[in-house]
Amino acid sequence: MNHAMRLTLPTSIFQLALIGFFLAALPLAAALVNTFMLIDKLSVQMQLAVRDSSRAVEASRIIMTQVLNMERSTGQYLVLRDPAVLQRYEDQRSQLAKAMAHLEDLTLTESLAQRLSQLRQQEEALYHQLHEVAEMPEKLPAGLPQRLTEKHDLTRLARPIPFEVTQMIAEESNVMTRQVESVQRQLLWQALGLIPLALILAVIFSLLISRPLRRLGTVIRRLGAGELTTAVTVGGPQDIRELSEQLDWLRQRLSELDEQKQAFLHHVSHELKTPLTAIREGVELLREEVVGTLNSEQAEVADILRESSLQLQTQVEALLNFNAALAQRSLLRQETVELHTLLPEIIDKHRLALQARKISVHRELQAVSLCGEREQLRTLLDNLLSNAIKYSPDGGQIRISLRSANDHAQIDVIDDGPGIPSTERQQIFEPFFQGRQSPRSHVKGTGLGLAIAQRYARLHRGDITVQNNGAGAHLRVTLPLDGKHNE
């Protein structure tokens, strides 16, 4: 029962977008239909009002005309006593009754209805008087015609009718104007209510569509950054969930490959270290002439072998250090490290290399201490300085500054080299990456120095970023000063 009643999401983004479009368009369509019905109703009312106004004006004209004709016929009949004149009066009377009936079919004002009633009563009385006159002797009493016309003055009653009809039409026009204004207000409130509703529905469905897509983008960026420990779970329509499952499979596969890579590096590094130690010991024995005296050419070959073995040992140790840094999840031995005393030690370590290439170091060091692992911090700063020396021109200058800013230690290392292209500013922290710029030093690096430095910075909850400095490379290290570090 619960499964049957549970609301399920659409199975695809297309269906979700289609439903969103339908729901957003539904109130607008309802508003359009309602508007059409209101306007159609108003149009019918206006047509009826125009028709009734035309009928009222025509009826009032006929009434006035027939009243004048009837009074003229009355006067003629009272003088001539001609039955044909009386018959003409009756015809005119019939047309007046029809016009009054047409006018009474309309919605009349109270005063106009009373006036029509009085006119009918007066006309009825005049008609009966005329029939009485028809039965009288040929000679009428003196003054009777004048008394009849004065007593039954139909013109006096009919004269205001056109004006009252005009007033009635004006009132109907005012009513129609108020109805139009009412419809306008209703349509305005309808628009103010339904358009925001449609927009809200559109925004809701846009979020329902864009939010899982943004989460997918975040997951992909996280996978690209090498964060493979967090499972990929993105909710939403069925196709998004399927894509999330495929990304999680990809994460697991990348994690397996990463573990295999680390195991391979660890194994190769250790396997290389043992024969390399034997080679170094053998070369030292040759150089010390333990196995016999060497001529100048043999001694030069021994020196080349020694230099190459030292370089190879450095690269093997870099591989081991990088492998150990990747495997480490938190700091092991934490202590208070005074960076303002550690940096001069590192600079002094490279004194011979700096002197050989006549590179000067300008330092601005404030007293800054933090809690961390000393050897990792030493390696981090040593790698940054080594990188600056490697790319600095002969006779150049390296600027190193240390200060406290926003509860962080901020270390800037700036050189006079060719700088870091904007396209490589993220790649330089990837392992084994070699930039397009050639180092000024004759020693080619392993491409692990900055990767190890970045890893050690992250273990200290810090970061290394490339700053825009114009000429030369500018690397900035930020490390928090707020006590213990736990991952």
Q: What is the pLDDT of residues 95-143, one digit of tens each?
A: 989 988 988 888 888 888 888 888 888 888 888 878 777 777 666 565 5
Instruction: Report whether pLDDT(63) > 70.
Output: yes
The domain defined by 13-188 folds into: Four Helix Bundle (Hemerythrin (Met), subunit A) (1.20.120)
In the chain, ranges of CATH 1.10.287 domains: 238-323
Question: Which of 151-155, 326-330, 416-420, 464-468 has the least mean pLDDT?
Answer: 326-330
Please check whether residue 469 is in contact with residue 414, taking contact to mean a CB–CB distance below 8 angstroms.
yes
In which band, very low, low, confident or very high, does the pLDDT at 446 lie, cut at 50, 70 and 90?
Answer: low
In the chain, ranges of CATH 1.20.120.1730 domains: 13-188
In which band, very low, low, confident or very high, does the pLDDT at 401 lie, cut at 50, 70 and 90?
Answer: very high
- DSSP assignment of 183-220: HHHHHHHHHHHHHHHHHHHHHHHHHHHHHHHHHHHHHH
Residues 442-471 have a mean pLDDT of 80
Mean pLDDT of the chain: 81
Q: How would you list the strands of the sheet with 397-405, edge to edge?
A: 360-365, 397-405, 408-414, 474-480, 463-466
Please check whether residue 467 is in contact with residue 412, taking contact to mean a CB–CB distance below 8 angstroms.
yes
In which band, very low, low, confident or very high, does the pLDDT at 152 lie, cut at 50, 70 and 90?
Answer: low
- pLDDT: is 236 or 363 the higher one? 363
- pLDDT: is 280 or 70 the higher one? 70
- pLDDT: is 54 or 206 the higher one? 54
175-190 pLDDT, tens digit each: 888 888 888 888 888 8
Q: Indicate the helix (H) or strand (E) that contains 311.
A: helix 296-327
Which residue in 399, 396, 422 sits closest to 411, CA to CA?
399
pLDDT value of position 141 = 61
Which residue in 11, 149, 140, 146 sits closest to 70, CA to CA?
149
Instruction: Report whether pLDDT(479) > 90.
Output: yes
pTM over 0.75: no
202-236 pLDDT, tens digit each: 888 788 778 888 888 888 887 776 677 788 888 77
pLDDT value of position 6 = 45
Residues 306-311 have a mean pLDDT of 78
Please state which CATH number belongs to domain 238-323. 1.10.287
Residues 15-35 have a mean pLDDT of 81
Residue the block writes with tokens 């006018």: 103
- pLDDT: is 240 or 4 the higher one? 240
pLDDT value of position 476 = 92
In the chain, ranges of CATH 3.30.565.10 domains: 332-480
Please state which CATH number belongs to domain 332-480. 3.30.565.10
pLDDT value of position 412 = 93
pLDDT value of position 286 = 77
In which band, very low, low, confident or very high, does the pLDDT at 3 lie, cut at 50, 70 and 90?
Answer: very low
